[in-house]
Amino acid sequence: MSDFRAIPKSPSIPEIVLEEIQRLIAEGKVRPGDHLPSETELAERFGVGRSSIREAMRVLQLIGVVEVIQGKGTFVRQAGILPLMIDWSRISQTGLISEAMEARQFMEVLLARLAAERATHDDIEALRRSLRQSEESLSNMESNVRAGVDFHLVLADAAHNQILALMYRTITDLYLEVARRMRITPEMAHDRFHDHERLLEAVASRDPQAAADIMKDHLDKAYQILSAGEPETKSA
């Protein structure tokens, strides 16, 4: 049973249009200040409806890639970093996955240390609950991955810095995409569960250094498995 991975859903038309426009900008085909073709013309050129163009433009407008002025037209702007962050998929394309994993690692070690310093009684209770839920789903791989991620998110909240927690959550979204391709054995699940137990212990006994060390060790393991699963970035 199970070797049936979920079928990746193809991107919707507005998403395709979105990436197409961003590609044009990235390749310098259209430059900041340029006047984009009208929505009607774009719709004709792409062979899609005007509403699809509009949905894409609305997104581009909000993330600052274009400026839309009623009656005048749509103009390309000097974009910031939002476009990159929104389109995580581009991160894998540009080979930033290992950097994202590394960033996640640093964030998580920091969050573990902070959690050990600041966790309230309620936080520790929440961690305990999450751990118990993880234990119950040890047999079911699918839900176990979710439960495992949940533990990390609860830990992030226990660090009592919402900005850091939100940033961590953003990176984790990407991690889940990558982790989906991993094959997880029951031993690995059990091992991870044990790590979580030790983490909870360190947090509960307010030992920041231990929490950080355990987390670092915990993530090193996961990272090794990950890079072993996809052997490509080797050699110089």
Strands laid side by side in the 35-36 sheet: 35-36, 73-76, 66-69
* Candidate segments 51-59, 136-144, 165-173, 186-194, binder of DNA by CB under 7 A: 51-59
Quick one: which of 24, 30, 48, 179 contacts DNA (CB under 7 A)?
Answer: 48
Site string for DNA, 125-144 (x = CB under 7 A): --------------------
Alpha helices (runs of H) in the chain, residue ranges in sequence order: 13-26, 39-46, 50-62, 82-86, 88-93, 97-118, 121-136, 141-158, 162-179, 186-204, 208-229
Per the DSSP assignment, residues forming a β-bridge with 35 are 75
Positions touching a second copy (CB under 8 A) are: 14, 51, 54-55, 58-59, 62-64, 78-82, 84-86, 91, 96, 99-100, 102-103, 106, 110, 153, 161-164, 166-167, 169-173
HSE-up of residue 141 (Cα within 13 Å, Cβ side): 14
3-state secondary structure of 67: strand
HSE-up of residue 228 (Cα within 13 Å, Cβ side): 8
User: Cβ 228 to DNA, closest distance in Å?
Assistant: 33
User: Cβ 88 to a second copy, closest distance in Å?
Assistant: 10
Quick one: which of 23, 29, 33, 40 contacts DNA (CB under 7 A)?
Answer: 40
DSSP summary character for residue 51: H
Per the DSSP assignment, residues forming a β-bridge with 68 are 74
The binder of 167, among a second copy, DNA, none, by C-beta within 5 to 8 A per type, is: a second copy
Site residues (CB under 7 A) for DNA, limited to 56-75: 57, 68-74
* CB neighbours of residue 202 within 10 Å: 22
User: Cβ 162 to a second copy, closest distance in Å?
Assistant: 6
Q: Which has the closest alpha carbon to 109: 228, 223, 217, 233?
A: 217
The binder of 38, among a second copy, DNA, none, by C-beta within 5 to 8 A per type, is: DNA
Distance CA 57, CA 77 (A): 13
33 binds DNA (CB under 7 A): no
User: Cβ 81 to DNA, closest distance in Å?
Assistant: 24
User: Cβ 44 to a second copy, closest distance in Å?
Assistant: 19
**Site residues (CB under 7 A) for DNA?**
12-14, 36, 38-41, 43, 47-52, 54, 57, 68-74
